[in-house]
Amino acid sequence: MIKYFSMSRKSLFEHKLRSFLTMLGIIFGVSAVISMMSIGEGAKREALAEIQKLGINNIYLVDKKEERKNAFDSGSYVGSGITMQDINYISSQADRIESWAVIKEKECYVQSEYYNNMIKVSGVSSRYWSVLELEAGLGRLFGELDIQKRHKVCVCGPELYKKIFRGGRGKGLNIRINNNYYQVAGVLAHKPGFTEELFIPVHNQLLYENIEPFSSAVSKVIFYIKELKYVSTAAAFIRQAVKRRHNNIEDFNLIVPESLLKQSERTKNIFNIVMILITGISLIVGGIGIMNIMLASVLERTKEIGIRRAIGATRRDIRMQFLIEAVMLCMAGGLTGIILGIALTRLIVIFTGWITHLSLIAVAVSFSISVLIGMIFGYYPAKNASELNPIDALRYE
């Protein structure tokens, strides 16, 4: 076997340009497989991170004031959006709801010695931390007592905290939100999706000043369902109950992370199948190119084959030599394609900022397929070479 590899390597190096051009199809095919699968895996991980941020056991009831405005403009009676009465009714009627948290959002001007900007401020209830499994990385999270006594305290996400205090220790210091000063009670421990957030107690008067028409007292409600199997049932009940209480106007949106997860998985699988088919076609085209070049090589080396047969080489020897040449071309193309695919993935990250993830499985599969293509598309030319008549081959000019 070693002698076959040695002879094949020598033959390929004697025709470097032809060998390189033959490998191009495999190189591009393998690099496309790796880069596309890296993009797909990165997109999947990003989507999963967003869904995990929401919490797989949670149901989000989100206010849509635009629907109330449209209904009002068409002459329909509209209420005041999501209210605490809605929340209390749902929590009392749906026994599968373990806990819930209220959120009121507003764009505010935030200022410190080093920072000033308009950002979204979220007023949250004390249960918010436990429902979303958030913890303090520095200081403390405000609780029910802070909310009841209307303390002017806030909690920052870790990245926002660094911007506001330029990396200094901001716990206990004050920041200005609109025209009021708030004491930084604590900083969240790092968790994806919460690094730039700013929280204040939900009943703070700041959140209800100069509100826009048709705004509701509550921007979002998070309902926590302890057992995952009841999430879909609870979501259906919440949708029906709120719609009935809102005069059949669907001025809300219901977000179910469990459904988003299933949809994300389906989308990712479809994306992977399409990408594999596209890149698979390019690999097949590369394989056809190798077969054509190998057939031309057999024709060009007919006299060499006749001489080798005349001095004792068997049909198996000839077949193995040409088959191994094809496999070596694909192996070299596969390895080059892997390097190019990794480089392309890095360039995509640099120029687009997309999240990618290089999968070792993708690398192993693409390389294995390239070797398999060499065996499949190299067999026919190798078989033709082995079946040449030695006498006719020696006479060939």
Residues 226, 326, single domain; the answer is no
Phi, psi of 226 (to 5 degrees): -65, -45
Distance CA 170, CA 161 (A): 7
H or E element at residue 325: helix 315-352
Q: Are residues 18 and 119 in the same domain?
A: no
Same domain, 333 and 388: yes
- Residue 192's pLDDT is 80
pTM of the predicted model, to two decimals?
0.65
pLDDT score for 144: 92
In a domain, 255, yes or no: no
Same domain, 115 and 213: yes
Residues 243 and 98 in one domain: yes
- Give me the pLDDT at residue 322, please: 78
Is position 55 within any domain?
no
Residue range(s) defining the domain that contains residue 229: 65-250
d(CA 363, CA 322): 26
Q: Are residues 79 and 194 in the same domain?
A: yes
In a domain, 79, yes or no: yes
Among the candidates 221, 250, 279, a domain finishes at 250
Answer for the pair 103, 85: CB distance below 8 angstroms, yes or no.
Answer: no
pLDDT recorded at residue 13: 59
Supply φ then ψ for residue 80, to 5 degrees. Answer: -105, 20
Closest C-alpha to 302, from 378, 383, 392: 392
Residue 3 pLDDT: 54
Residues 182 and 71 in one domain: yes
Domain end point (choices 230, 250, 270) = 250
Q: Which of 193, 228, 250 is the last residue in one of the domains? A: 250
Which segments in the chain show pLDDT lower than 50? none
Q: What is the total residue count of the chain?
A: 397
Whether residue 59 lies inside any domain: the answer is no
What is the SS3 assignment for 36-84? HHHHHHHHHHHHHHHHHHHCCCEEEEEECHHHHHHHHHCCCCCCCCCCH
CA–CA gap between residue 368 and residue 374 (Å, rounded): 10
Asked if 185 and 297 sit in the same domain, the reply is no
Residue whose structure tokens are 């009676």: 77
Structural contact between residues 195 and 187, judged by C-beta atoms closer than 8 angstroms: no
Instruction: Give how many domains the chain has, as a whole number.
Output: 2
What pLDDT does 58 receive? 92
Q: Which stretches within 55-169 are classed as H helix?
A: 65-73, 84-93, 128-131, 144-148, 158-165
Q: Assign 247 to helix, strand or coil.
A: coil
User: Based on the domain organization, do 100 and 245 belong to the same domain?
Assistant: yes
Residue 56 lies in a domain: no
Place of tokens 């935030």: 110
Task: Note whether 146 and 227 are same-domain residues.
Answer: yes
Q: Are residues 318 and 378 in the same domain?
A: yes
Is the domain of 245 the same as that of 267? no
